[in-house]
A and B are shown apart, each in its own frame.
Chain A
Amino acid sequence: MSGAAPAVLELPSVAPAAPKRQLFVGTAVACLGGSALVGGMLAIWALLRERAVSGGARFPLDYIIHEVATNVMLMTIWSICLFAQWAVYAGTRGDRSHTALALGVGGVLAVAFLNAQAFTWSQMGVVLADDGYGALFYAMTGTIFVIGAIGLLYSVVAAFRALSGRLTDTDVLTAHALYWYWAAAAYTAIWFLVYVTK
C-alpha cells in the first residue's frame, strides 16, 4: 500500500431543482390581479347604476337584453372548466388522446363563448355614444371578451406544451384549468350584475 491519499471522485453537482408549480402559482397571482380588475369595474358599474336609478333614470334605458345568449355563455364557460379539468385528469395519467380531445373541445367552446358575446352585442344594438350606458356596457363586456380571448390563447399554448412532450408535467394543464375557473367566476359576477340585476 502506498501512503498516498486515495483519490476523491467528485460527481458533477445535480441540476438545480425546478421551481415547484411556478406556472400554476403565477396564474393564481395573475388571477388575483384579474379579480381586482373585474371587481373594481363591477363596483364602478354598481355605483353609477345606483346614481342613475336614484336620479329617476331607467338603467339600461331602452335596450332589451337577450338573456338566452347570455345564459348560454354562462353554461359555456363553466363547461370549459369541465373540459379543462378533464385535460388535467387525462394528462396526469399520460393519456395523450384524451388530453388533446379535452383541450380541443375546450378551445371550441371558448370560440363559442366569444361568438356569443359578439352575438349579444349585435342583438342588443347598444349605441356607444348615445348615453352613459353604452360606454359602461362596452367597457365591461369588452373586458370579459378579452379575458375569454386570453383563455383561448392559453388553451392553445397549453395544448402545444402538453402534447409536445410534457404531457405528465401537468403544471401547465392545472394552471390552464385554474385560469378558466377564474374566468368563469368573473363572468358569473358580470352576468349577474350586467344581465340579471342590470
Chain B
Amino acid sequence: MTTETVLDPSHAAAEPTHDAPSASADGAASGSISAFFIGAADWVTSPDHKKIGRLYAGFGLLVLAAAAVVATLLGLERADDGTALLEAGALLQVFQVYRVGLIVGGLVPLALGLALAVAPLQVGARQAAFPRVALVGFYFWLAGLTFTIVALGRNGGIGGGDATGVDLFLAGLGLAALGLAATATSVATTVLTARAPGMTMRRVPLFAWSALIGSLGLLLVLPVVFGTVIYLFVDHRLGASQNFRGAPGIGAWLGWLLTVPAAIAFAVPAVGVAAELFPVTFRARQQLRGVAFAGISLVGVAALAAMTQQTAIEVSLSTDQTFGEFVDGAVPFLLFAGLPLLGLLIVFALGGLTAQTGIGTAGKPNLSPAFLFAFIGAGLVMLGLVANFLQGITNLELLGTAFEEGATLLVAYGALLALLGGLVFWAPKLWGVVVPPLHVVPLALLGAAGAALAGGSAIVGGVLDQPGGVPTDDAAVARLLSLDFSDAGSLLAVLGLIGHAAIALTVVAFAALLLKVRTSGVTDEPNPGKGHTIEWGTASPAPADNYPHVPTVASAEPAFDLSYEGTL
C-alpha cells in the first residue's frame, strides 16, 4: 500500500457539511423569511472557497448564456438581408456585449471558479489561501462586469459616443480585471503553500496543476489590462485624449483581450479537466506524469508569450524569400502559435497512452458523461488552436477575417464544455449530487454541435473572406454585417446563429439540470465517480473545512491506490 492515510470516508461523513448552516436554518424556521436571509447572508459572506467558486461559476454560466443569446441576435442581424432587427446605432455596443461577455464575463470566471472550488480540495487544503481576498475579488469582478454592461447600454465602450459611458466601461473593465487577479492570487497561493503533508509538487493532481498555471497566467495578463485601463481612463476622462485616440482607440489597446491567443491562456483549466479525466475513465495511473505537467504548462506559457508578440506570430510560406528570412519568421511563429498546439497534443497523446494502459489492465473503461463533455470540449479547443495556427500563415490571407472569431469561439465554447464536464465530475463534492448520465449526454452532444456550428461557420466565413475582428467603430460594424447574400454568407450566418442558440440552450439546460438533481440526485457516497485523487476521500458534499483530518499522502493517486491496487 502506498498511502499512509487517511482517506476515511466513514469518519468524514459524520462531519457537518458546508451546507449545514443553511440546512439547519431551514429546519429551525422552515419557509420563513429570516431563514432565507440567513441562508443568503451565509452565501454572500462565506469564506468557503467552494461557495465562492460556485458563485463565480454560476454567474459565469449566466453571462455566457446571455452572450450566446446576444450572438444569436447578431446572427439574425447578419442573416436577415435588409430588415434590421437591432437599431443600427446600437450594433457597435451589442458586438462588444457579446465579446466581453464571452471572455471576461464567461470563460475567465467559469475557469477560475472551478479552479477555486476544486483545487484546494485536490491538494488537501482545509481552506483556500486568503479566502476573503478571493471573495472580494468575486464582488469586484461582478461589479466591474455590471458597470461594463451598463456602460455599453448607454453608448459607452470602444468607439462609444457617450464620454461618461466610455469612462464607466473602462472603470468596469479595470475593476473586473483587478477582481479576477485577486482571486487568481488566492488559487495560485493555495496550490503553492497549502498542500497536504506528503503532497509534493510532482504529486499535485493535473487539474490543480492547470489551476496553478491558469492562475499565474491571469496574474501576468490582467495587471497589464489594468495598467492599460489606467492610462486610457486618465487620458480619456482627465487628459487630452491624444495618446490613445480617445474612445475608438480603446480597441487597439485592449482588443487583444477578447480574442486568441488570450482566450487560449484563459482555457488552461479546461485542458486540466480533460487531463484529469483520462486516467479516471480508463482506470489507470496517469502515464508520464511530468510530461503531462509540461504539456499543460506549454499551452499556458506559450499562449501567454504569444500575447506579447502578436505582431511576430505570422509566417510567410512564399518562395520569393531567402531561407534566412523564412527562418526569422518561422521560429517565433512556431514558438508562439505552435507550442500551445504541441502542449495540447501532448496532453491528448498521454491520455491515449493512459487509455491503452487502462484497457490492457483494467478492461472496460468507465465512460462517464463528464468525460464526454471534457473530451469533446478539449477537442474543440484543439481545433481552435489549429485555427489560431493557420491564421498566422500570411499566404492563407486569413488575418482580419472572421477566421479569428471562429478560432476564439472554438476555444471559448470548447473550454466551456470541458469545464461543464468538470462541474459534472466534481458535483458530488460541490453539491452532494450525482448528475445522471442520461440527462447529461444529450446536453454534451447539443453543446458540441452548437460549438462546432458557431465556430465552424465563422471559420468557413473567414476562408470566404468575410470580415471579422472586434469592431471599433460603426464602419467596422457595417463591414461585419455586409455579407454577400449571393453566395454562402447567408447560410453561414444562419448556421452560426443556430450554433450560438444551441450553446445558450445547453448552458440554461445544464443549470436547470443542476437545480433539479439537488433533490433527486443526492448522494453521500464519497467516491461515486471513482476518482483517483484525495478529494474523493472526504465526504460528499465536502465539509466546510474540506477534511476533518488533514490527509497525509504518499502517492499522486491515493484514492486509486485504495480502490484498484489489489485488482491490478
List the interface of chain A (C-beta within 8 A of B).
Answer: 13, 16-17, 19-22, 25-26, 29-30, 32-34, 36-41, 44, 48, 128-132, 134-136, 138-139, 142-143
Contact = CB atoms under 8 A, between A and B. Distances in A.
Contacts of A25: 129, 189, 192-193
B238 A128 contact: yes
B142 interface: no
Contact of B242 (A17, A32, A132): A132
The CB with the most chain B CB atoms within 10 A, among A13, A29, A34, is that of A29
Contacts of B126: 16
B42 to A, nearest CB: 23
A135 to B, nearest CB: 3
Contacts of A131: 240, 242
B240 A36 contact: no
A178 B231 CA distance: 27
B222 interface: yes
A129 B243 CA distance: 12
On chain B, which size bracket covers the interface? 35 or more
A113 B239 CA distance: 26
Given A25-B193, A33-B184, A135-B240, 10 more contacts: A20-B193, A22-B130, A29-B192, A33-B185, A33-B223, A36-B224, A41-B230, A134-B239, A135-B231, A143-B230
13 contacts: A13-B549, A19-B129, A22-B130, A29-B216, A29-B219, A36-B220, A36-B222, A40-B224, A128-B234, A128-B238, A134-B240, A135-B235, A143-B230
Given A19-B125, A38-B227, A135 B220 contact: no
Q: Which 9 A-B pairs have the closest CB atoms?
A: A135-B239, A40-B224, A37-B223, A132-B242, A135-B235, A41-B227, A36-B223, A33-B219, A16-B550
B498 interface: no
Contacts of A143: 227, 230
B221 interface: yes
B124 to A, nearest CB: 10
B303 to A, nearest CB: 15
Given A135-B231, A135-B240, A139-B231, A37 B189 contact: no
A37 B194 CA distance: 26
A29 B219 CA distance: 8
B455 to A, nearest CB: 30
A142 B234 CA distance: 10
Given A17-B550, A37-B226, A38-B227, A128 B125 contact: no
A129 B230 contact: no
Interface string B136-151: 0000000000000000
B507 to A, nearest CB: 30
B164 interface: no
B334 to A, nearest CB: 24
A198 to B, nearest CB: 16
Contacts of B219: 29, 32-33, 36
Interface string B119-138: 00000011001100000000
A22 B129 contact: yes
A157 B219 CA distance: 24
Contact of A48 (B222, B230, B243): B243
B430 interface: no
A44 B240 contact: no
Contacts of A36: 219-224, 227
A34 B227 CA distance: 10
A173 B309 CA distance: 38
B231 A32 contact: no
B181 interface: yes
Contact of B227 (A40, A128, A130, A138): A40
Contacts of B234: 128, 135, 138-139, 142
A57 to B, nearest CB: 11
A33 B243 contact: no
A54 B230 CA distance: 25
